[in-house]
Chain A
Amino acid sequence: MYPLSVAVPGKKYIIVAIQARNHAVKRLAQLGLLKNTPVFVIKNLGRGPILVEARNSKIVLGRGLANKIIVQPLN
């Protein structure tokens, strides 16, 4: 288990926890990012935002937010 910000591009993960404030959690939920949501990491350069695909749409997340989303690799 580790933050999305260190996830490897090209791999699939599942969200296990979101450690952000309610406001951010709601915004994430609106876009379909909740606990148990599978995500596919498209781009992660170690700096700058992260691009993921979840529920068939692509979402850009700032690094700060990605730090608060805890994921686990999906096999």
Chain B
Amino acid sequence: MFPEKKTLEKIKIALIGNPNVGKTAIFNYLTKSSQKVANFPGITVKGKSGFFTAKNKKFIVTDLPGTYGFGTDSPEEKVAKKFLLDEDLNLIINVVDATKLERNLILTLQLTGFKKPMIIVLTFADKIEEEGIDINYEELSKIFGVPVIPISALHKHDLEHLKQFIIQYIQSPLIPETILKADEILDLSPKIKALYLYLKNISIPKKLKNLSLEWLTFLVATNDEVVLEHFDRETREQINSILQETDMHLENEEVPVSLLFINYLYEKVQEIIKKVYSNKEEVNTKTIMELIDEVLLDPIVGLLVFSAVIWLTFKLTFDVSQPFSTLIEIMINQVIAMIHHYLPQNVFTSFLSDGLISGIGFILTFLPQLAFLFFGITLLEQTGYLTRVVFVTDRFLNKLGITGKSLAPLLLGFGCNVSGVLATKTIPDEKERIITILVNPFMSCSARLPVYVLISSALFPQIASLVITGIYLGGIMLAAFMIWVYRKTLFRGEQSSLLIEMPELTLPPTSSIFYQIYLYLKDFTLHAGFGITIGVVIIWVLSITGPSGYLGPDALNNQALIQQSWVYKIGQLLETIFKPMGWETPLIVALILGFIAKEVVVGTLAVLYGHGNMAQLVPILSSVMSPVQGIAYMVFVLTYTPCIATVFAIKEELGIKWTIFSIINGLVTAWFLSFLIITIGGLLL
């Protein structure tokens, strides 16, 4: 029979380091096909986990969000801190950029406080040779008391060597030296000293026992919630009173403890650098990358380049992807035809072909578009070009009321608004974050594209792409307007300032790009696909049943029958609201069901008009809508309530109040704008 499955010993590993050091490349290599949680496209704010097995052990690797240290309360830091405290970690892999040793070692120093087995991996080891830098790895290893492994994250054999090293090392790992000396830290401030002495004499909560006392003192002194929550209330009150008491003895304006600490850390790092780092030559000639940056960062040329990149991405997304979509559509129709041919005509056949397969088919047909869009976005971020874009656009975004930090979440909205909303976690300013979330739905997500394509092809056959581009631009202008309005009304006050690191421009390996696109597509398919399939099935049920009872699958092909269905009745109820627009019931029903997922709009139209594919829908649509009505319809789709998934994402980020606001805002704006278009259209024509 089957051999008994042995329970493998679990080894938990955390990957932690500054942003842009190459953690993800290492993570991808170690965990290849086993990644569990796909992060939302673009920015790693939540951690992701994966594993590999070797020597009867299961190595579970978690890629923590990039962080510079533990001194602020940014969401990335919180996630990292929680993980390092709450998990029974077997190993910390600290990934350090060898070309930026000074700043990277700040985090390393802080990590020693956790007193967990550690390895230091130095990435970009190949680059330091080029730049004439020499690092004494053995000395560095001696100072920290843990192994130091230089690698180039681009070279597979370096990564394999690292993997083998981890497997070996875990058998007898080393805990880092105590570099943060008690007597040095106590000298920093009376607050720290008093707190240290208090903590020394009490019983430390279990989860915090491992930490070095010096490091724990620092975390407590900086009012770190993640750490403080482990203490009982009594202890916390004691701690509070100590922190307040010593305040009274301070003469000068208070310097925050974390700042004193960071100054101290930098002094320690300087000492270490002197012992291990030497720069042979001062490189004065400009590298190619720097010359390219001159162009990309130029206020005028940079913007032109960006516009060209955007135009190219959209062109790929709309035009170049079409043949692929059509191919997939043809294949789906073949499958449906075969089902009708080989299976008896009954409810179940109908469910299979008109419900399930249709639903899945619709998702598949616009994967090509998404693939190109995600390709564009991935290229932007992985090359580091996105930061250049932030630099040249910040000035203009400031005029509206946001910073360049909001650009990525807004751009992501073009792929999927859920991704866009969740990506706003990286915006430090709360007001700006809320604004970016509220206007995200106006970044027309790819799910709405099929609607635009369908209606534009039907009503504006010659200039379809132009019209679609117009809708997208309209969305952007609407978003810009809304940002400006929000800043003048609900969110007045000082704007926060941009502060980000600009990584070096690199050409990422194609495998990395394609792997990321694959992750995005997989994430989107599972995420939205589930909702859409359910949605299409619901429509199917509501189409073949009605107030009068079961209508049978023929309803899908019979106009008379379908008018007795639930789906139709709901549409009729809402006709009065949409009277000025003159849209007939199936179109209204499609909008309602579009709340489930925007992709469902086209699916609904297909079912209600009795045809499963776009080619057949096109002539029908051109007969039930005038061009003006078509534009009004597309604008409505652009603007009204975001889909359920996005609504949930907004609720997760901002809570119920803002979610309801967002829904109502969308509906009212959508109705008003469509009405405006119909009215103006009516006057002009």
Which residue of chain B lies nearest to A23 when distances are taken between CB atoms in the complex?
Answer: B72
Chain A positions within 8 Å of B258 at CB level: 26, 29
- Asked if residues A25 and B259 are in contact (CB atoms below 8 Å), the reply is yes
Give per-residue flags for A22-35: 1 if the beta carbon is below 8 A from chain B beta carbons, else 0: 11111111111011
**Are the C-beta atoms of B102 and A31 separated by less than 8 Å?**
no
B-chain residues with CB within 8 Å of residue A28 when the two chains form the complex: 499
With A27-B499, A59-B499, A65-B499 as known contacts, state yes or no: A51 contacts B256, CB within 8 Å.
no
Report A15-45 CB contacts with B as 1/0, cut-off 8 Å: 0000000111111111110110000000101
Query: Interface code B89-111, partner A: CB below 8 Å = 1, 0 otherwise?
Result: 00000000001111100100000
Q: Is the CB of B72 within 8 A of A26?
A: yes
Number of CB contacts from chain A to chain B under 8 A? 105
Question: Can you list 20 pairs linking A and B with CB atoms under 8 Å apart?
Answer: A22-B256, A25-B256, A25-B259, A26-B72, A26-B258, A29-B71, A29-B258, A31-B103, A32-B102, A32-B106, A34-B262, A48-B391, A49-B391, A59-B499, A60-B387, A60-B500, A62-B394, A62-B499, A64-B496, A65-B497
Known pairs A48-B391, A56-B99 / 15 extra A-B pairs, C-beta < 8 Å: A25-B256, A27-B72, A29-B262, A29-B263, A32-B106, A47-B395, A48-B392, A48-B394, A49-B404, A55-B102, A59-B501, A60-B498, A61-B499, A64-B496, A64-B497
Cβ A27 vs Cβ B428 within 8 A: yes
Output the residue of B266, B297, B498 with the most chain A CB within 10 A.
Answer: B498
> With contacts A51-B502, A59-B502 known, is A30 near B101, CB below 8 A?
no
Distance in angstroms from B272 CB to nearest chain A CB is 13
Once A22-B256, A48-B395, A51-B502 are accepted as A-B contacts, the answer to whether A61 and B69 lie under 8 Å apart by CB is no
Majority SS at the chain A contact face: mixed
* Chain B residues whose CB sits within 8 angstroms of the CB of A34 once the complex forms: 259, 262-263, 266
Q: Which of the listed residues A22, A27, A58, A62 has the most CB atoms from chain B within 10 Å of its own CB?
A: A62
A27-B72, A34-B263, A47-B395 known; A62-B497 Cβ under 8 A = yes
**B71, B103, B496 — most chain A CB neighbours (10 Å):** B103
A26-B404 in contact (CB<8A): no
| Least distance between A10 CB and chain B CB atoms (Å) | 12
B626 vs chain A, min Cβ distance (A): 45
B394 touches A49 (CB 8 A): yes
Query: Contacting B391 at CB < 8 Å: which of A32, A56, A60?
Result: A60
Residues of B within 8 A of A35 (CB): 263
Whether B132 sits at the interface, judged by CB under 8 Å, is no
Complex: A51 Cα to B391 Cα, angstroms = 8
- How far is B78's CA from A10's CA once the two chains are assembled, in angstroms? 37
Q: Give chain A residues whose Cβ lies under 8 Å from the Cβ of B502.
A: 51, 57-60
**B403: Cβ under 8 A from any A Cβ:** yes
- Determine whether the beta carbon of A56 is less than 8 Å from that of B101: yes
Say yes or no: B68 contacts A30, CB within 8 Å. Answer: yes
Asked if B498 and A62 make an inter-chain contact with CB atoms under 8 angstroms apart, the answer reads yes
B601 in contact (CB, < 8 A): no
State the 8 A-B residue pairs at the shortest beta-carbon distance, nearest first. Answer: A62-B497, A48-B395, A62-B498, A65-B497, A64-B497, A58-B502, A30-B68, A32-B103
Whether B299 is near chain A, meaning CB under 8 Å from some CB there, is yes
Set of chain B residues within 8 Å of A61, measured between Cβ atoms: 497-499
Nearest Cβ in chain B — how far from A68, in angstroms?
9
Q: Which residues of chain B in 254-270 are interfacial with respect to chain A, using CB atoms and an 8 Å cutoff?
A: 256, 258-259, 262-263, 266
The answer for the CA separation of A60 and B389 in the assembled complex, in Å, is 12
A24 proximity list for chain B (CB < 8 A): 497, 499
Inter-chain contact A31/B72, CB cutoff 8 Å: no
Q: Which residues of B contact A29 (CB under 8 A)?
A: 71, 258-259, 262-263
Does B164 interact with chain A (Cβ within 8 Å)?
no
A60 vs B148: C-alpha distance in the bound complex, in angstroms?
A: 30
How many angstroms between the C-alpha atoms of A51 and B496 in the bound complex?
Answer: 17
With A30-B69, A45-B299, A51-B391 as contacts: A60 and B259 at CB distance below 8 Å? no
Residues of chain A lying within 8 A (CB to CB) of residue B259: 22, 25-26, 29, 34
Q: Is the CB of B395 within 8 A of A31?
A: no
Residues of B within 8 A of A59 (CB): 499-502
A residues near B387, Cβ cutoff 8 Å: 60
Instruction: Let me know if B390 and A60 touch, CB within 8 A.
Output: yes
Q: Find the A residue at minimum CB distance from B390.
A: A60
Are B499 and A57 closer than 8 Å at their CB atoms? no
What residue of chain B has the Cβ atom nearest to residue A68's Cβ? Answer: B497
* Complex interface: chain A residues within 8 A of B395 (CB): 47-49
| Contact A56 B72, beta carbon cutoff 8 Å | no
Closest A-chain residue to B131, C-beta based? A56
Tell yes or no: B278 within 8 A of A by CB.
no
User: Is B495 positioned at the interface, with any CB of A under 8 Å from its CB?
Assistant: yes
Q: Which residues of B contact A30 (CB under 8 A)?
A: 68-69, 71-72, 262
Which chain B residues lie closer than 8 Å to A66 at the CB level? 497
Q: What's the Cα separation between A26 and B428 when bound, in Å?
A: 13
A16 to chain B, nearest CB (A): 14
Q: A31 vs B497: C-alpha distance in the bound complex, in angstroms?
A: 14
Inter-chain CA distance A7–B677, complex, in Å, is: 50
Asked whether, in the complex, the Cβ of B497 is within 8 Å of the Cβ of A51, the reply is no
Nearest CB of A to B105, in Å = 10
Residue of B nearest to A58 (CB): B502
A57 x B100 contact (CB < 8 A): yes
- Bound-complex Cα distance A64 to B71 (A): 22
B68 touches A31 (CB 8 A): yes
Report B584 CB to chain A, min CB distance, Å.
50
Q: How far is the CA of A29 from the CA of B263 in the complex (A)?
A: 8
Distance from A55 Cβ to chain B, minimum over Cβ atoms (Å): 5
| Set of chain B residues within 8 Å of A51, measured between Cβ atoms | 297, 391, 502
Tell me, rounded to whole Å, the shortest Cβ–Cβ distance linking A23 to chain B.
Answer: 8
A66 to B398, CA, bound (A): 15
